[in-house]
Chain A
């Protein structure tokens, strides 16, 4: 059962990601990428990582992609007038990324040996366990992430202002 779910979600996400890269209209690209993110959230549920699935949907589909769509509509780029790169450049990109795929798959081939003999715990991805780990072992990085968000917020406001008087 779960292998069929895995295959379906994987095919959907790869197909929508390809459509996102290949479609001319940027608004269509955003919508295809949202579909990809929902398929990836389904993979998280399949991996018993419910907290990540919820956070993924809230952060990516709910915040980041809305921001992208908002900027796209603000700049009025929804007409398909984007200048395209030449076909030679596209073939070069396909060859370069295809050879990187070959190298990565070849290098990561024996990875099942590393995970064969571990006893499975069911509560790893639940909020209770993740919260305990996040607020004990990772409390300093958590606070630094808060500072990073503050810096990003100030930076985004400062960059977006029309004329800055310091």
Chain B
């Protein structure tokens, strides 16, 4: 039996991942630099990954860790395409401020 499972209840992992996820949401809501917003999205993905891995270990089921693997795949693809779009936005507006990107509003 793994020492971690005996000593740490799963609620601690739930609370910890929730706090990390909330910090990511707070960053998305309050920052204006688009690169930092993308980094906060990565932090939220990581919080979910950690909780999936924790439940996978506690239930002795490998499928949770396979899910984490696929989430990492999607995160890498998202970062590549998102940063490409960001470079193009910077080329057109000379800024990465997301509050300039409200053309659909009018």
Contact = CB atoms under 8 A, between A and B. Distances in A.
A52 B84 contact: no
B53 A44 contact: yes
B35 A68 contact: yes
A74 B76 contact: no
B32 A83 contact: yes
Nearest to B58: A115
Interface residues of A, number: 87
A112 B10 contact: yes
Interface in B35-86: 35-36, 38-40, 42-43, 46, 49-50, 53-63, 65-66, 68-70, 72-81, 83-86
A105 B79 contact: no
A92 B19 CA distance: 17
Interface of B: 1-5, 7-12, 14-16, 18-27, 29-33, 35-36, 38-40, 42-43, 46, 49-50, 53-63, 65-66, 68-70, 72-81, 83-88, 90-91, 96-97, 99
Contacts of A17: 20, 23-24, 43
A125 B57 contact: yes
A52 B65 contact: yes
B73 A97 contact: no
Main secondary structure, interface of B, reads helix
A162 B22 CA distance: 37
B38 to A, nearest CB: 7
Interface of A: 1-3, 6, 10, 13-14, 17-18, 20-21, 26, 29-30, 33, 36-37, 40, 43-44, 46-49, 51-52, 55-56, 59-60, 63-64, 67-68, 71-72, 74-75, 77, 82-85, 89-90, 92-94, 96-98, 100-101, 104-105, 108-109, 111-112, 114-115, 118-122, 124-125, 129-130, 133-134, 137-138, 141, 145, 148-149, 151-153, 155-157, 159-160, 162
